[in-house]
């Protein structure tokens, strides 16, 4: 009986086992998303006195956004079990613990840094610096509180 040959492994994985390579989907969708973002942002009144051609502005924004958009689409569509060398259970690996600890350390450092920084800069630097640090502190604390409550309720 004829057996269909298995598709060879794809460096960036596939959308499902034996399916289309994930990049074939991620690149066009990412480029379309980047184009839409470019066109939308070029009209934003960020630089009201900018004399550059609108299409050129959209193209430049699109080119800058494209790598991030393609990567984002790829992370959504790829089936990680099809990526060569990807671990089946990364959540049980020691690297996951290292990541968690590093994230915890950086969170606490960010809170301490922005809190102390806001207090200290209020004496010597323009108020905008202190307000910016306070805003980062408040946003970080808010995200923490929401994340904590979501886990508590679930």
Partner 1 sequence: MRNRLPQLRRERHLSQEKLATMLGVSRQTIISIEKERFDPSLPLAFQIAAIFDLRIEDIFTPDAPL
Cα separation, 14 vs 21, in Å, equals 4
> Quick one: which segment of 1-9, 13-21, 89-97, 137-145 binds partner 1 (CB under 8 A)?
89-97
Identify the residue among 90, 100, 110, 125 touching partner 1 (CB under 8 A).
90
Cβ atoms < 10 Å from Cβ of 84 = 10
Residue from the set 95, 125, 144, 148 that interacts with partner 1 by CB under 8 A: 95
Nearer of residues 68 and 87 to partner 1, judged by Cβ? 87
Is 3 near partner 1 (CB under 8 A)? Answer: no
The number of beta carbons lying within 10 Å of the beta carbon of residue 152 is: 7
94 lies in the site for partner 1, by CB under 8 A? yes
Residue 123 is encoded by which pair of tokens? 């004496």
Which residue of 52, 63, 87, 135 would you call a contact of partner 1, by CB under 8 A? 87
The CA distances from residue 52 to 41, 82, 88, 116, in Å, are: 14, 44, 50, 42
Interface pick for partner 1 out of 50, 93, 101, 106 (rule CB under 8 A): 93
Residue with smaller CB distance to partner 1, 100 or 105: 100
Q: Does 101 bind partner 1 (CB under 8 A)?
A: no
Residues 6+ apart with CB under 8 A from 26: 70, 71, 73, 74, 77, 78
Phi and psi at 14, nearest 5°, equal -125, 170
Q: Nearest approach, Cβ of 96 to partner 1 (angstroms)?
A: 9
Q: How far is CA 147 from the centre of its chain?
A: 18
| Chain positions contacting partner 1, by CB under 8 A | 87-95, 97
């Amino acid at each position: 009986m004829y057996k269909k040959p298995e598709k060879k492994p794809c460096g960036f994985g596939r959308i499902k086992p034996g399916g289309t390579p994930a990049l074939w989907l991620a690149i066009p969708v990412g480029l379309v998303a980047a184009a839409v973002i470019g066109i939308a942002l070029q009209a934003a009144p960020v630089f009201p006195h900018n004399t550059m051609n609108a299409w050129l502005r959209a193209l430049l924004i699109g080119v800058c956004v494209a790598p991030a958009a393609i990567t984002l689409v790829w992370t959504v569509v790829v089936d990680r079990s099809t990526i060569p060398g990807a671990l089946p259970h990364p959540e049980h690996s020691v690297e996951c613990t290292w990541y968690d600890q590093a994230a915890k350390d950086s969170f606490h450092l960010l809170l301490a840094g922005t809190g102390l920084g806001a207090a200290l800069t209020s004496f010597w630097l323009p108020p905008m610096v202190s307000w910016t640090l306070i805003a980062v502190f408040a946003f970080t604390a808010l995200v923490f509180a929401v994340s904590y409550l979501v886990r508590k309720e679930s």
